[in-house]
Amino acid sequence: MRKGVLELCILSIISEGEAYPSDIINKLKEAELIVVEGTLYPLLTRLKNANLLHYTWKESTSGPPRKYFHITEQGKEFLNGLLGTWNQLVHAVSESTKNYQQQ
């Protein structure tokens, strides 16, 4: 389940505009979703290989060129599907737990 949630969050972040991996990690941290580079990079590669993302290289003033990720049209469609599934899950959990009162 966590992998699917990470895909949803990462695609959503990248859909806002091009994104550098450290920027993605920082946005996830701001949302209190801690992800390390060792988790992010393989996921980005898998999403790229599935044609959901593509990247461009940009020169950096502070080192080697950097890889910036962009969402593809197929990625936008996939993200919309993930958001629909997520909203159904949130609704189902809310309905299932609405009568529970914390003690």
- For the cut 80, the answer to whether the pLDDT of residue 101 exceeds it is no
pLDDT 10s digits, 16-55: 999 999 999 999 999 999 888 899 999 999 999 999 999 9
Total number of domains constituting the chain: 1
Q: Could you tell me the residue range of the domain that residue 73 belongs to?
A: 2-96
| Assigned domain for 103 exists | no
In a domain, 102, yes or no: no
Q: Which amino acid is at 4?
A: G
Does residue 101 form part of some domain?
Answer: no
CATH number of the domain to which 85 belongs? 1.10.10.10
Residue 3 predicted with pLDDT over 90: no
4 pLDDT above the threshold of 90: no
